């Protein structure tokens, strides 16, 4: 009998998992971004369940209370990818993978490092890492990514986030989060002590595996991008197709900000289902 997965243990870390939907349905692994948790999929997951799919939404490294190792190196992309691979191996077989923001970066890395585990990939907001790197050099993407440099400084963002309504909250609002979404981020990330873990993903960027970041994707892929995204320039979205050596679709959402899973769940679920049913 198939059983629900509530936690995942890997290398002494214990991750929380939201396992929902028809227990015998095809599995979709949902990977959240920064600064959110598995609950960022709360509007998308029920739409996938209605289509007969089972979803596993992972509270990733640095976010799950019992999976917050110290030190930047513990948050290298290879470690983040291997966490998800362990979850999929626990399920058995291959699954559909959907990732938003940093979750998309992990999904791209998983498809490159362990393609046999990925039946299909839907990357949301963040393009293929090689396309992103090229966009940094050839478009306004470099300017849009200024905050990544700020995040490298120890304690600066953590201190700014202490005051409600302060610079951290205002930054999220300027990126398109609604007041309710900012409040949820504060409750689930800042108030639970998960912020440093989330920032550690950025602080581990200097240790990225260059080969992993440039490897082409060989699994059926959909990339979903929104033209109201203040963090991700169109150039990276346009370049992504050239790094996918498999069936590929690009879905552009008009008038939507970076926070697609919470602000355009129906459109995102439709894109995911189109990809899932195509393989």
**pLDDT one-digit tens code per residue, 183-234:** 999 999 999 999 999 999 999 999 988 888 899 999 999 999 999 999 999 9
Catalytic choice (63, 75, 202, 243)? 202
Q: What is the mean pLDDT of the chain?
A: 97
Check if 101 is active-site: yes
Q: What is the 3-state secondary structure (H, E, C) of 134-184?
A: HHHHHCCHHHHCHHHHHCCCCCHHHHHCCCCCCHHHHHHHHCCCCHHHHHH
Say what the alpha-carbon torsion angle 185, 187, 188, 193 is, to the nearest 10 degrees: 110
pLDDT in tens, 181-197: 999 999 999 999 999 99
For residues 246-258, average pLDDT: 98
Check if 248 is active-site: no
pTM given for the model:
0.98
Please report which helix (H) or strand (E) contains residue 224, including its range.
strand 221-226
Backbone region of residue 251 per phi and psi (left: phi > 0; alpha: psi in -120 to 50; beta: other values): beta
d(CA 18, CA 4): 9
For residues 78-100, average pLDDT: 97
What's the pLDDT at 217?
97
What's the pLDDT at 1?
67
Going from the N-terminus, what domains does the chain have, and what CATH number goes with each?
Answer: 7-277 (3.40.50.1820)
Q: What is the 3-state secondary structure (H, E, C) of 264-276?
A: CHHHHHHHHHHHH
Is residue 100 predicted with pLDDT exceeding 90? yes
What's the pLDDT at 2?
82
Catalytic choice (16, 101, 169, 229)? 101
Check if 63 is active-site: no
pLDDT in tens, 136-172: 999 999 999 999 999 999 999 999 999 999 999 999 9
What's the pLDDT at 39?
98
pLDDT in tens, 25-55: 999 999 999 999 999 999 999 999 999 999 9
């Amino acid at each position: 009998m198939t059983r629900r997965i509530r936690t995942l243990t890997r290398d002494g870390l214990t991750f929380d998992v939201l396992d929902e939907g028809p227990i015998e349905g095809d599995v979709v692994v949902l990977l959240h971004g920064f600064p959110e948790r598995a609950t960022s999929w709360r509007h998308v997951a029920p739409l996938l369940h209605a289509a007969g799919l089972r979803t596993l939404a992972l509270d990733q490294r640095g976010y799950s209370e019992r999976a917050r190792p110290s030190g930047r190196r513990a948050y290298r992309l290879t470690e983040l990818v291997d966490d998800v691979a362990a979850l999929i191996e626990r399920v058995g077989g291959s699954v559909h993978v959907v990732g938003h923001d940093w979750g998309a970066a992990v999904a791209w890395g998983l498809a490159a490092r362990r393609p046999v585990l990925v039946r299909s990939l839907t990357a949301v907001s963040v393009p293929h890492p090689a396309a992103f790197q090229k966009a940094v050099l050839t478009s306004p993407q470099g300017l849009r990514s200024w905050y990544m440099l700020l995040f490298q400084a120890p304690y600066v963002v953590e201190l700014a986030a202490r005051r409600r309504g302060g610079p951290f909250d205002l930054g999220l609002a300027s990126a398109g989060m609604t007041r309710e979404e900012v409040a949820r981020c504060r409750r689930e990330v800042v108030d639970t002590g998960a912020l440093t873990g989330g920032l550690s993903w950025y602080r581990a960027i200097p240790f990225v595996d260059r080969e992993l970041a440039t490897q082409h994707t060989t699994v059926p892929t959909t990339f979903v991008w929104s033209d109201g995204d203040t963090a991700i320039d169109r150039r990276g979205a346009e370049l992504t197709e050239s790094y996918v050596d498999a069936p590929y679709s690009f879905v552009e959402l008009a008038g939507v900000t970076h926070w697609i899973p919470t602000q355009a769940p129906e459109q995102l679920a439709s894109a995911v289902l189109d990809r899932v049913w195509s393989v």
